[in-house]
Structure 1
Amino acid sequence: MVRFGLIGCGSIAAKHVDSIASCPNAELVALADPVPERMNVLVEKYARARSVPVSSVSAYADPSLLTQDARIDAVVIAAPSFMHAKWTKESLLAGKHVILEKPIALSLKDADSIAELASISRRRVQVCHQLRYRPNMRLAKNWIDQGALGTIRAGSVSILLNRSPDYYASSAWRGTWEKDGGMLLNQGVHLIDLFLWLINDRPESVYGVIGHGNSPKETEESAAATVRFAGGAVGSIEATTLCKPNNLEQTLTLVGDRGTIRIGGAGLTEIKRWHSDDFPAPPFPLAAVNEHLEMYEHFIAELQGTAGDSRLCVTASEARRSLEVAFAVYESSHLGIPVRLPLASFDTKSMSVKKS
């Protein structure tokens, strides 16, 4: 049994509570949030799902008390982005494993510190890039790793979403460089992670631009970038949160000299093209799964030593890759030239100064 504590009881926390409640080898033992009403809602949700008394889940106003709770094996961090590094490092120092909402951090220094602490403490960090657990994505990974597309020459991700003014007005930290970090880190990083995971090559340079609209938020509303990889492939990223009246599409494309895969649709679930010169096309559609629950079950299996495909887990070091590419888009936009990877350093707080 893996006993979980959860820090942060905002909107995304309900999904974590649902996943914990659905795992027979998991138990929620504590929550931490400065707003008691938010904790009460989640405690009742979990208690109903597991048919346990609400008193079985402790509630802490101070997350530090949760990280020091000896009953807890793993801490789930669903707090706002600017708190991710602080509570992850404190949890690791307390000997806990961590499930961490994206982005892993708002600076490369913090991301590297988390990876180093995880290694030193021999604790696992799973960053929530749960789209890897979708059957389509797992099949794409297996196909590509077996050479079904040949040598990948090009690829792209397109993220055409809508985030209303009310979304940013709902919390003061949203849309700020210092505490939120930018649209690419929050809405775009899932597809950037998938792209880097599937192409399995090292990005060498990024040439990016970002755009601001008329909204009062500090961070970008649109972004575009070209990524050059060490193996010669060229990739592109386009992202916006301005689509009217709602989300339009998310698309992932990989083009090799032996085949092409393109997955799209508003929910990134539609097979647009799936071709290999050498492999027969699989039967579609594949059965849908709850990828968030799959992520939890895989994480628990890793802790218990029974996990299968290790490629699925997004460790701190793995999550740093997509973080760095997003940061490179920001840095390139500021400088007006391509930037080479790896970046020596980057912190989203610097963008406030650069914009002014």
Structure 2
Amino acid sequence: MTSPAPAARTFRVGIAGCGAISRNHLEAFTALDNVWIVGVCDVDPDRASATAKSWGVPHAVTSVDELLALDLDIVSVCTPHPTHEDVVLRAAAAGVNVLCEKPIATTLESAERMVAACEDAGVQLGVLFQRRFWPASQKIRTAIDDGTLGKAIMAQCSVMLHRDPDYYNRDAWRGTWENDGGGVLMSQAVHQVDLLQWYLGDVAEVYGKVNTYRHGDYIEVEDSATAVITFTSGAMATLEASTAVSPNLGIQLRITGETGASASLTEFPEGSDGRLDLWAVGERIVVEPVHPEGVEPNVDLSVINGQLIPFHKLQVKDFVEALETGTEPAITGKDALKSLRILLAVYESSRTGQPVRFAAEQPTHAAIPELRGREKVAR
């Protein structure tokens, strides 16, 4: 007689933070049959209660400890950037797996403590970079791996976005070094920095500049940045990012591989499904318009977040499946450390006027004189 298949495990989930992005997490976990959201947490009791009522969640609490006391398997971290560490360390101490919003933290030391705590506790730490789950993003990764593009050797990334004063003023924590940890790099371009390091590999050196051109009356962080990034493979990339653009021009990331082929990934309007607007392989070039006619360029944050829900769902599903199978999720805390290290190096380079070295790059075909001079070595 064949034994019945074991019942699928039901994962008990808590949502820490009921701000704007929590909707994406609530939608994503609710879509899974083997997940039960048992509690939400927010320092504002009214917001916690309203969220619980809207989503049919049985418990609304105001502290992380109360949330963890609900016998959770997973806590989803949707709190402001600098508070991520406290939630993650408490979760790890309680033996609870963590799925954390980007950026993982605002300092390298904080992020490293988070990764170490989860490793020591034997729990998984995943970090949200849902744009990796776009079909177009996946196609570029596959083209690198299967030799269509081959090893990526050059990249150009442009993150030219619009933010109005209300974006910064509606939440007191936005736009400050203490509470936001940075500006366009930390809050927006971190997604594209993640894609760059996913495609091009480990970083050897970062040289960058930041400035505030448009929003200086109400923020203290940068609204614009540029960087030149060299990778240990010898590959090179340029990055430009700004929230001082009007109208919003969206995001483009072009990758050129060692075969000579190129692909360009575009997100316009911001938050929409990224698409391949350029596919130049062999003798054929396929081009799509970057800015289709009739599309509203300046999109509200709620619309941006809403359009990303399908890809939050894919990453949340991946995270839960990793817990089921005992494997690592697609994007781990260690992966998120890489993008944080890069953007923090842009800040450091801008402050010192010097490149920030991570590791030695591999020799290239052409001999290049050593001109770097004094440099700070990044951990």
- TM-score, L = length of structure 1: 0.86
Name the structure with the higher helix share: 1
How far apart in 2 are the matches of 1:278 and 1:113?
Answer: 49
* Correspondence 1:273 to 2:278: yes
Contact 2:143 2:150 in 1 (8 A): no
> Aligned pair 1:249/2:250, yes or no?
yes
Q: Deviations over 1:271-326 (max 9, x none)?
A: 22123339999xxxxxx99111011111111110087xx6x721111100000000
**Does the 8 Å CA contact 1:107/1:345 hold for their aligned counterparts?**
no
Whether 2:75 is the aligned partner of 1:58: answer no
Where 2:118 maps in the other structure, the secondary structure is helix
Which residue is 1:6 aligned to?
A: 15
- Say which of 26, 38, 46 aligns to 2:35: 26
Partner of 2:237: 235
Which residue is 2:50 aligned to?
41
**Superposed displacement of residue 69, structure 1:** 2.6
Equivalent of 1:217 in 216, 219, 241:
219
Change (3 A) 1:181 1:268: farther
**CA shift digits 1:215-268 (9 cap, x unpaired):** 3211000000000111111101110001114x3210111111311110114136
Give the secondary structure class of the aligned counterpart of 1:304.
helix
Q: Distance in 1 between matches of 2:323 and 2:315?
A: 13
1:148 lines up with 2:153 in the alignment: no
Aligned to 1:352: none
Cα gap change, 1:163 to 1:177, in 2 (>3 Å): same
Q: Kindly tell me: are residues 278 and 132 of structure 1, through their superposed partners in 2, closer, same or farther at Cα, counting changes over 3 Å?
A: farther
Among 288, 291, 295, the alignment partner of 2:311 is 291
- Are positions 1:325 and 2:351 aligned together? no
- Residue 181 in 1 paired to residue 181 in 2? yes
AA of the residue aligned to 1:81: H
1:111 is paired with a residue of what secondary structure? helix
Q: Which residue of 2 aligns with 1:340?
A: 357
CA gap of 1:68–1:280, structure 2 versus 1, over 3 A, is farther
| Structure with the greater alpha carbon radius of gyration | 2
Deviation, structure 1 residue 129: 0.4
Where does residue 86 of structure 2 map in the other structure? 86
Q: Do the aligned partners of 2:136 and 2:275 also contact (CA within 8 Å) in 1?
A: no
Counterparts in 2 of 1:268 and 1:325: CA distance versus 1, 3 Å:
farther
Deviates more, 1:290-299 or 1:146-155: 146-155
Q: CA RMSD in A?
A: 2.2
Q: Which whole-Å CA distance do the structure 2 matches of 1:289 and 1:280 have between them? A: 31
Contact kept? 1:127, 1:316, Cα under 8 Å = yes
Structure 2: how far apart are the matches of 1:92 and 1:118? Answer: 5
The answer (yes or no) to whether the contact 1:165–1:215 under 8 Å persists in 2 is: no
Which ranges in structure 1 are unaligned for 5 or more consecutive residues? Answer: 48-55, 282-287, 347-356
CA distance in 1 between partners of 2:186 and 2:357 (Å) = 19
TM norm structure 2:
0.81
Query: Partner amino acid for 2:338?
Result: R
SS at match of 2:325: coil
Whole-Å separation in 2 of the counterparts to 1:32 and 1:231: 44
Structure 2 runs not aligned, ≥5 long: 1-9, 287-307, 360-375
Does residue 316 of the first structure (1) align with residue 333 of the second (2)?
A: yes
Name the SS for the 2:85 alignment partner: helix
Instruction: Quote the residue 1:351 is aligned against.
Output: none
Describe the shift of the 1:141–1:289 C-alpha distance in structure 2 as closer, same or farther (beyond 3 A): farther
Counterpart-to-counterpart distance in 1, 2:280 and 2:227: 26
Q: Is the 8 A contact 1:158 1:250 kept in 2?
A: yes
The answer as to whether partners of 1:207 and 1:227 remain within 8 angstroms in 2 is yes
Contact 1:91 1:98 in 2 (8 A): yes
In structure 2, relative to structure 1, the CA distance for the partners of 1:24 and 1:279 (3 Å cut) is farther
Quick check: 144-153 or 28-37, which moved more?
144-153
- Contact 1:261 1:275 (C-alpha < 8 Å) held by counterparts: yes
Post-superposition shift, 1:345? 6.5
Give yes or no for contact 1:206–1:328 (8 Å, CA) kept in 2: yes
